[in-house]
Amino acid sequence: MTETLPRLLSLQSCDQRIRKALHTLDRLRASLAVLEEPALADVQAMQVRHDKIKEAAQARDVFAVQLEQIKDQLREKRRSEHHRRAGGVKACVQREITILEARKAAVKEDLRAAKAQFNENAAALHYAEEVAQTQIEERQRATATLLDQVAVTQDVLRAAQEERSALTSGITPLVLSEYERIFAHRSGVAVVAIAHETCQGCYLHVPAHLC
């Protein structure tokens, strides 16, 4: 048993490194997940902006077509007015022209508003894309740093696991099982050394006959 104690102390140190590495990996992976959340939100927000621009462009195009149609109708009515001689018929055509002029003014205003909305949405999208690009670059740098830390921690974990395999091969199953039980229930401390009749865990005096 005396020969086993140094090996158990080494094993405990190794297990503590493994525990710490696993905790660090969990923390790093949680940080990576946090970085991914705003990226998804940014994509969704950008899609909403693109949809708004598409809607504004469609409205602009519809009003532009309507305006051209009204202009065509006005030209036709004015030609018709020019050829009308009868007072009643001519007056009717003039009323139609007046109505078309009113419609033309209304559609021109709708077209102006649609163009303004399109320009506003396009400017907002351009600004959002610039901001998003900066945020993407920042997230990429942060992600790269975290991935580097993950790689280093995985190397530490792998080395500790290999060391543990070598250490446990020299410990009897019964002692190893008891050690692992205590280690799991005592916050990672199962074995402590005694130096000069003093426990190195609690620093209480241990009589020589008990050492």
Which percentage of the chain shows pLDDT scores above 70? 92
- pLDDT, one tens digit per residue, over 14-64 is 999 999 999 999 999 999 998 888 777 788 888 999 999 999 999 999 999
- Residue 92 has a pLDDT of 83
Q: Please, what's the b/e burial string for 113-138 (b: 16 or more CB within 10 A of its CB; e: otherwise)? A: ebbebbeebeeebeeeeeebeeeeee
- pLDDT, one tens digit per residue, over 140-164 is 999 999 999 999 999 999 999 999 9
The pair of three-digit structure tokens given for residue 36, joined into one six-digit string: 């991914």
- Residue 209 has a pLDDT of 62
Most confident by average pLDDT, 24-33, 128-137, 196-205: 24-33
Position 88 pLDDT exceeds 80: no
- Residue 157 has a pLDDT of 97
Q: Which residue has the tokens 């809607």?
A: 55
Mean pLDDT of the chain: 89
Position 171 pLDDT exceeds 80: yes
Position 85 pLDDT exceeds 60: no
What's the one-letter identity of residue 180? E
- Residue 210 has a pLDDT of 61
pLDDT mean over 176-191: 92
Position 87 pLDDT exceeds 60: no
> How far is the C-alpha of 40 from the C-alpha of 128, rounded, in Å?
15
Global pTM exceeds 0.85: no
- Residue 187 has a pLDDT of 87
Handedness of CA 156, 161, 195, 187 (dihedral sign): positive
- Residue 155 has a pLDDT of 97
- Residue 35 has a pLDDT of 87
